[in-house]
Chains A and B, each alone.
Chain A
């Protein structure tokens, strides 16, 4: 679909492992393995999966908040994997993040305006009235009155706070924003407002998003392309319609049918997937989904299936389907 254009952000086979003490033993957590993705300018890539699938780790790796043990992260063609602290500070202008919990994402002791102004104070020479005007402009962009700048976060509801968090992320006109469960903490009626705002900003400001979420319905709504992850592996990647209308990986199929549809005339009669999510400290060999897969064969238990292209831009990692 957009494969021909140069990607804005790209990861090439990155793996993130870290160690953690469990009782008296030091265990390796295999958070992410050989993860490759491209995000093109102005594009929204949805990253879905259940807890422990590595989607948040992937987002943080693209922002340099965690360093991969192998692989490369590129921004506009430049390798930023091993950037120095100073190098990353400069990169911060171009890449930003929107968080899940708008309640803890704003410093309760700082006025909203001061929080939004922080990127300007750190990176630019804007001060005084010029700074105030910039803050007011950002608030307007996210649909908040300029007077909000003089209030403290506790005066605002969750949805309003999320707007403020978005305003802060947009301060320095980043090209790429990682939205990590950006609507998960919000009520349905507010979630729709924020989703609409994010979609609108994509067009007006020209943003590219990595939209990380466990909510498959929201991802369907916002994404151009969708990646489905399971236990640190990418299982399926394709255009929105590839993945939602023609899910090919058995996990994608199971995941999509497990979502309760808000329509009582479509009560699904599917059989729920059995078993639990594997521990990232002890991932199954071969295809990580084999332990719960209804189609698993011997090969799936031994060899990891590569991500292969099934149609233009539609990749699936499965030996069977």
Chain B
């Protein structure tokens, strides 16, 4: 009953079942190779149909590429090189020249170069903060959800307290105690977002731990650590990755906010938040400083959100089709 012998319909012919990739039996070496191959193929075919997903991935890739290879780009000047005679040069199109395509700031530094340098800080801080938060938060969520009992009460109360505690205030206190630094910002952002992973991880574990495969593992005599590590964690991955991307957007915004408040990276290094803070004094005679920094923040946050939304929809579709194909309710 495939469409193979059905010439009247324009529908594509089904070559092989989607849940049985042709690569299925070639990977003896690595445990997850087969899963990766099929997941990547699925991901690609799903992406082709989603303009928002393509936009998100493009923006995020450009952002990451700028951050990583930016300093080696030949046409960008040194972001901290001052040149007072060139100060507040407008961008190309508003009387500027191609020497400084996006203009210069109040000290004559190239805006484009400073944006790229700022991307480095932005990426470093947000990715590091989210990784720390995800590891810490997921571990606590697993323990709270699986072990339960008093440990659960303790962890979830801590998460609630953290939820209610404003991150900026925590940042202020820590800066007052240790002085401003990039690492401090990473830690502050991490501790103000771990509980998101804990709560989501915990609720996922609650449903997962009633699965028969978890019971089977317990009946086989597996330790709690083994059950959490081998059975629960791998099943949390897809949801937690989507969540991480979402949190990345929040972390980028938080980094900018902290830089704006002067808690994070210090001059002469650049950061988008810092650029806005310094540029706001020149908003009348150098509007481009805040504008481009603000645009960079908005664009990247938009890109990351698009990416996360697309990942979410991919997971949903994958799940739905898996159900249709595997358990055809007769």
Least Cβ–Cβ distance between B221 and chain A, in angstroms = 4
Q: Which of B71-79, B102-110, B227-235 sits within the interface?
A: B227-235
Q: Verify if A114 is at the interface (C-beta below 8 Å from B).
A: yes
B-side contacts of A99, CB under 8 Å: 212, 215-216
Contact A109 B221 (CB under 8 A): no
Least Cβ–Cβ distance between B234 and chain A, in angstroms = 4
In the complex, which of the residues B27, B215, B221, B327 contacts A123, with contact meaning CB atoms closer than 8 Å?
B221
Interface string of B202-242 (1 = CB under 8 A from A): 00000000011101110111110010001100110100000
Least Cβ–Cβ distance between B207 and chain A, in angstroms = 11
Contact A101 B212 (CB under 8 A): yes
A168 and B326 in contact, given A109-B235, A111-B31, A150-B27 (Cβ under 8 angstroms): no
Chain A interface size band reads 35 or more
Q: Verify if A154 is at the interface (C-beta below 8 Å from B).
A: yes
Q: Verify if B3 is at the interface (C-beta below 8 Å from A).
A: no
Q: Which of B17-25, B52-60, B122-130, B285-293 sits within the interface?
A: B17-25
A-side contacts of B222, CB under 8 Å: 118, 122
A104–B235 Cα distance when bound, in Å, is 12
Interface string of B11-48 (1 = CB under 8 A from A): 00000000110001101100100110000000000000
Q: Verify if A108 is at the interface (C-beta below 8 Å from B).
A: yes
A136–B293 Cα distance when bound, in Å, is 60
Contact B221 A154 (CB under 8 A): no
Which residue of chain B has the shortest Cβ distance to A178 in the bound complex?
Answer: B219
Q: Verify if B153 is at the interface (C-beta below 8 Å from A).
A: no
Contact A114 B219 (CB under 8 A): no
The B-contacting residues of A in range 109-125, CB under 8 angstroms, are 109-111, 114-115, 118-119, 122-123
Interface residues of A, Cβ cutoff 8 Å to B: 63, 65, 88-90, 92-93, 96-97, 99-101, 103-111, 114-115, 118-119, 122-123, 147, 150-152, 154-155, 165, 168, 171
> Can you offer 10 A-B residue contacts whose CB atoms are under 8 A?
A99-B212, A100-B212, A103-B327, A119-B220, A150-B27, A151-B24, A151-B25, A154-B322, A154-B326, A155-B20
Known: A107-B234, A118-B222, A152-B35. 12 other contacts (CB 8 A): A90-B221, A92-B220, A96-B220, A100-B212, A101-B212, A104-B212, A105-B213, A105-B216, A107-B235, A111-B34, A122-B220, A168-B220
